[in-house]
Amino acid sequence: MAIAAALTGAGTAPDVHAQAQPEEARPQEEAGDGHEGEELDEVVVQATRTRRRVQDEPIRVDVITREEVEEKLLMRPGNIAMILSETGGVRVQTTSTALGAANVRVWGLRGRYTQLLADGLPLYGGQASSIGLLQIPPTDLGQVEVIKGAASALYGPSALGGVINLVSRRPGEAPQAELLLNATTQNGQDATAYGAAPLTEGWSASLTGGAHRQSRRDLDDDGWADIPGYGRLTLRPRLFWEGESGARAFFTAGSMHEDRNGGALQGRTVPDGSGHQQQQDSRRLDAGIVAEVPLAAGGTAGVRASAMTQAHRHRFGEVVEDDRHNTLFAEVSYASAPGATTWLAGLALQSDAYTSDTFPAFDYTHTAPAAFVQVEHEVRDDLILAASARVDAHSEYGAKLSPRLSLLYRPRPWMFRASLGRGFYAPTPFVEEIEAAGLSRLQPLSGLEAEVATTASLEGGYARGPVEANVTLFASGIEDAVRIQEVNASGGSARVRLANTAGLTRTRGMELLTRYRWDDFTVTGSYVYIDANEPALSGSGRGAIPLTPRHTAGLVAMWEQHDRGRIGLEAYYTGQQELEDNPYRSESRPYVELGALAEFNIGRGVSVFLNLENLLDVRQTKYDPLLLPRRAVDGRWTVDTWAPLEGFVANGGVRVRFGAR
C-alpha cells in the first residue's frame, strides 16, 4: 500500500550482508545539523556496491523496505508485480493479454531496457522474460532497489533504462519461520513458507518455498480468458557465511516449475472460426554466489557468479515453440578501503544464449567480456561526486563505452542530485509483440544496430520533522530504437521484421513525491508526468509512444502498529494513453483504482488480513472487446491491455510467524 521511498533518502547498492535495520535500531541524527531529534531510516544500498546509506548515495536509487514489502505481500503473495506497480515513475505494463505477462517500464522506457537482478546477480536471465516478473514470490525479500535511468556503467547492456535489484532477507541471530495462506474471489490460492536459522559459527541459512494456482476466468463471456490460469511451484535455499576477518559469502539456488494457460477457452473460437489457445510451460534452475575478502593492503576483493537455465514450451494456437534460455555470469573486482575517495574496479563476463527447436534461425549466443571502474570522492561532508565507466566487447554489436556521472549535495534539510549516463542495449528477437505472439511471423534478424541511450536527471528534496518532499526532472533519448514493422500483409503471407528507427526516441518528465508522518499514521502522495514520443514509421512526423500515460498519480494513507496490525487506503489515477492498432479507440479512457487493506494480530505470531483491490470494478472489457475483428499482422488476436482486466478482486488469509521477529 505504501509508495516506495524515493524521497531525500533515495539510494541503493549490492553488498553481501547490508540490510535495512529494524525500526528500534535506527539511529538519530546528531543535534546541530538541521535534523535535531529526527529518526532516519538506516537503509544501506546494495545495487551500487559502495555500502552507503540511502541518504548518502549520489546515484538516485529508490528503496522499497521490508515493511513495505510485507504490505504488498498481503496484496499479491504470488509475484512481485504489486510491489513495483505502486512505485513512482515505474509502471508494470501487461505485454500478453492472453497469458497476463508483464514487464517494468521505468520513466516511460520500454520494459526490455530494465535489468532484473537478485542480490546483484542475473538469476532470471540477461533479458528476463515478461512472464518472469509473475513467477517471483516476494516472501523472502528484504528490500527492493530501483535505479532509474541508464545503468549500463554498472551492469552492462541489459540495464539501459534502469535496474531492479531484489535483495534477499538475511537470517537473524535466532531461528524464525513464517507461513502465509491466501485465497482470492477469482479462485486463486497461494501458500508460501519461509524459514531461517543460524547454523554453526559464522554460518546461517534460509529456505523459501511456495505453491500458487489460479483458475482461468472469462469475465465477459466472450470465450477468451480475461484471467489466465496457472499452477506454479518455487523453492529457493540460501546459505550465508561471515568470517572473523570480515570475509563473507552468500550462496543461492532456485527452481521454478509453472504451467500457464490462456487464450480461447475449450470449445470456443476467435473471429475467424478457429480455436486459439495459448499456453506456456516454464522450468527454471539457477544458482549464484557473492563473496568478498578483505586484503592485507586494506582493500577488498570480490567475486560474483551465477548460472541460469530456463526451458519453455509455448503454444500460440496451432504453433508450438520449444526453446531454452541460458545465462552465465562471472565477475571479479577490487575495492579500495573506505576514505574520502573510494574506488572499485573489475572484470566481468556474461553470456546469454537462446536456442529454439522450432525456429532455429533465431538462435543466438551473445558474449560480452567487460572492464569497469567506479570512483566516488567526498569533497566535504555534504558534497559527493561519483563517476563510473564500463567497456563491453559485445560479440554481436562490438565494443561499447557506458559512462555515468553523478553528484549529491546535501545542505540539510535540503538534498540535490544530478546524474548523466549513457548506455546501450543489444537487440534480441523478444520485443513485447513477439513475446505475446511468438516467432512464427517474424523474419530472421538482419542488419540491426545496438540501441544507444543517454539519460539525465535532476532531483531536489526536503526533509524536516514529519514532512518529506522530492521532485525529479528526467529526460532520455534513444538512438536506433528497435521497433516491429510490417513487411507484407498480402494474402496469407503476412510477416513482420525488427528494424532500427531513424531518429531519436525521446522521453521527458517529472516525478513528484511527498510524505507526511504523524505518530502511527503515514500519508504518501505521488504524481508523474511523462511526455514520450518517437519517429513515425512512415518516416515523417512523430507520435506518442503507445501505452505511456502522460499523467499518473497516487495517494496512500496507512495506520500501523507493530503489535496490533495495519489499515491502509489507496487511490491511483491513470490518465489517457496512446493506443496502437486498436480498431475500437485511438486513446484509452482515464481511470481511478481504489483499494483497502487491513491486517490484525489475533494471537502470538498470528494475524489475519483482507485486501480489496479495484473497488470501483474498473475493467477494460466494460468499454471495448479484447478480441480483434481479424488477426494482427504480428499474430496477436487481442488489443493491447490499457486498463485492469480482472476488475474487483478481494483476497484474504492468515499469516503465522514462529520464533524471532
Task: Evaluate if residue 18 carries a pLDDT over 80.
Answer: no
Query: Average model confidence (pLDDT) for the chain?
Result: 89
Task: Calculate the alpha carbon distances from 375 to 284, 299, 344 in Å.
Answer: 36, 14, 6
- Position 661 scores a pLDDT of 59
Q: For residue 388, which of 354, 433, 343, 418 has the smallest C-alpha distance?
A: 343
- Position 245 scores a pLDDT of 86
Using CA atoms, how far apart are residues 400 and 348, in angstroms rounded to an integer?
A: 14
Q: For residue 431, which of 416, 419, 414, 448 has the smallest C-alpha distance?
A: 448
- Position 493 scores a pLDDT of 62
Q: Cell digits for 446?
A: 538482419
- Position 417 scores a pLDDT of 96
- Position 491 scores a pLDDT of 54
Residue range 277-305: average pLDDT? 94
Using CA atoms, how far apart are residues 294 and 304, in angstroms rounded to an integer?
A: 15
Task: Evaluate if residue 20 carries a pLDDT over 60.
Answer: no
- Position 544 scores a pLDDT of 94
Residue range 630-650: average pLDDT? 95
Using CA atoms, how far apart are residues 316 and 168, in angstroms rounded to an integer?
A: 35
**Quick one: residue 399, left, alpha or beta (phi over 0 = left, psi -120 to 50 = alpha)?**
beta
Between 82 and 209, the higher pLDDT residue: 209
Q: For residue 547, which of 518, 520, 580 has the smallest C-alpha distance?
A: 580
514-567 tens-digit pLDDT: 999 999 999 999 999 999 999 988 777 899 999 999 999 999 999 999 889 999
90-106 tens-digit pLDDT: 999 999 999 999 999 99
- Position 660 scores a pLDDT of 66
Residue range 351-359: average pLDDT? 96
Phi then psi for residue 267, to 5 deg, are: 85, -5
Task: Evaluate if residue 26 carries a pLDDT over 70.
Answer: no
Using CA atoms, how far apart are residues 310 and 157, in angstroms rounded to an integer?
A: 20
151 neighbors 159 (Cβ within 8 angstroms): yes
Task: Evaluate if residue 28 carries a pLDDT over 50.
Answer: no
Residue range 214-227: average pLDDT? 95
Element (H, E) at 22: none
Q: 296: pLDDT confidence band, cut at 50, 70 and 90?
A: confident
- Position 297 scores a pLDDT of 79
Using CA atoms, how far apart are residues 219 and 201, in angstroms rounded to an integer?
A: 55
- Position 400 scores a pLDDT of 95
Q: What is the pTM of this model?
A: 0.91
- Position 25 scores a pLDDT of 33
Out of 360-369, 462-471, 531-540, which region has the weakest mean confidence (pLDDT)? 531-540
188-208 tens-digit pLDDT: 999 999 999 999 989 999 999
Residue range 162-182: average pLDDT? 94
Residue range 643-657: average pLDDT? 97
Residue range 117-135: average pLDDT? 88
- Position 489 scores a pLDDT of 55
564-592 tens-digit pLDDT: 999 999 999 999 999 999 999 999 999 99
Q: What are the extents of the domains in the chain?
A: 23-659
Task: Evaluate if residue 342 carries a pLDDT over 80.
Answer: yes
- Position 487 scores a pLDDT of 86
46-88 tens-digit pLDDT: 777 777 788 888 888 899 999 899 998 999 999 998 888 888 8
Q: In what side-by-side order are the strands of the sheet with 61-64?
A: 61-64, 141-148, 162-168, 114-118
Neighbouring-strand partners of residue 182:
190, 653
- Position 492 scores a pLDDT of 56
39 neighbors 26 (Cβ within 8 angstroms): yes
- Position 470 scores a pLDDT of 95
Q: How many residues in total does the chain contain?
A: 661
Q: Cell digits for 411?
A: 545542505
Between 377 and 31, the higher pLDDT residue: 377
What are the DSSP calls for 192-248, one per residue?
Answer: EEEEEEE-STTEEEEEEEEEEEE--B-SS-SSB-SB-EEEEEEEEEEEEEE-TTS-E
Using CA atoms, how far apart are residues 419 and 11, in angstroms rounded to an integer?
A: 13
- Position 179 scores a pLDDT of 97
230-286 tens-digit pLDDT: 999 999 999 999 998 889 999 999 999 999 999 999 999 999 998 899 999 999 999
Q: For residue 545, which of 589, 517, 505, 495 has the smallest C-alpha distance?
A: 505
Using CA atoms, how far apart are residues 634 and 559, in angstroms rounded to an integer?
A: 48
CATH 2.40.170.20 assigned to domain 23-659? The reply is: yes
Task: Evaluate if residue 37 carries a pLDDT over 50.
Answer: no
Residue range 178-185: average pLDDT? 97
Residue range 407-421: average pLDDT? 95
